[in-house]
């Protein structure tokens, strides 16, 4: 099992550019989520999904879109990158919110 | 909104000393999870507490859930250099709601 994979590992964008952060899991988990982590801060929930075709907003959803067309994949789209979106992004998956979350290795994003 | 406060933000100890981090919520939690993140790494699940007053041990780590299910603590006995990292709690208020709320973490450094 690869677990939770994220691509790319690093990305530099210019303000206004768009991009998609990829996340995939091979554990047949229903629950997937995206977090951002800023220095000295905890993990803030961006969006989450409780199953294919179902997504919902977390604490900080503005500027991000998600979709969940399959159980395995949960991409995060930045619509028009801003310097405030410079952060480390983690994708996580679990059987349900009440179960252990498995985190991917993260994507370090810099927006200039 | 629902917030989980975690203290202290940083803790520096000499190897062999004990360490404790605390999480507090203003409203009752359903479950609480604990994660460890090594420098440059991703969060890794340690444990989940569900019952009021629950105490669980993992070798030198002791986890407690308060009687009112509003607070939790992680205690490490006789720290080692391998304990270095940031410890996060994640509160779940409603296991049907699909969200967990992370504390800001406590970063532990251990001086050999």
Residues of chain B with Cβ-Cβ distance to A104 below 8 Å are: 42
User: How close, in Å, is residue B98 to chain A by CA atoms?
Assistant: 5
A55-87: pLDDT as tens digits: 999 999 999 999 999 999 999 999 999 999 999
Residues of chain A with Cβ-Cβ distance to B95 below 8 Å are: 96-98
A33-59: pLDDT as tens digits: 999 999 877 899 999 999 999 999 999
> CA A108 to CA B62: how far, in whole Å?
33
Chain B, 2 to 21: residues with Cβ < 8 Å from chain A are 6, 9
Please state whether A37 falls in left (phi above 0), alpha (psi between -120 and 50) or beta: beta
- Give, for B97, the enclosing helix (H) or strand (E): none
Chain B, 35 to 64: residues with Cβ < 8 Å from chain A are 35, 41-45, 48
Under a CB-based contact definition with an 8 Å cutoff, are residues A68 and A76 in contact?
no
CA B102 to chain centre: 10
């Amino acid at each position: 099992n690869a677990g939770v994979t994220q691509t790319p590992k690093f990305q530099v964008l210019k303000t206004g550019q768009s991009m998609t952060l990829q996340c995939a899991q091979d554990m047949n988990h229903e629950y997937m989520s995206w977090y951002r982590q800023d220095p000295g801060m905890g993990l803030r929930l961006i969006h989450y999904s409780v199953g294919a075709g179902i997504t919902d907003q977390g604490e900080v959803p503005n500027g991000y879109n998600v979709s969940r067309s399959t159980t395995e994949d949960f991409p995060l789209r930045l619509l028009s990158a801003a310097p405030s979106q410079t952060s480390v992004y983690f994708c996580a998956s679990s059987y349900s919110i009440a179960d252990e979350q498995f985190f991917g290795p993260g994507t370090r994003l810099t927006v200039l | 909104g629902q917030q989980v406060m975690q203290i202290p933000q940083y803790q520096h100890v000499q190897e062999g000393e004990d360490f404790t981090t605390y999480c507090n919520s203003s409203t009752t939690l359903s479950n609480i999870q604990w994660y460890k993140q090594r420098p440059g790494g991703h969060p890794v699940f340690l444990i989940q507490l569900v019952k009021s007053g629950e105490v669980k041990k993992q070798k030198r780590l002791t986890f407690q859930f308060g009687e009112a299910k509003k607070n939790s603590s992680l205690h490490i006995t006789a720290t080692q250099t391998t304990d270095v990292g940031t410890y996060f709690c994640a509160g779940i208020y409603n296991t049907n709601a699909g969200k967990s709320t992370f504390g800001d973490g406590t970063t532990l450094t251990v001086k050999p």
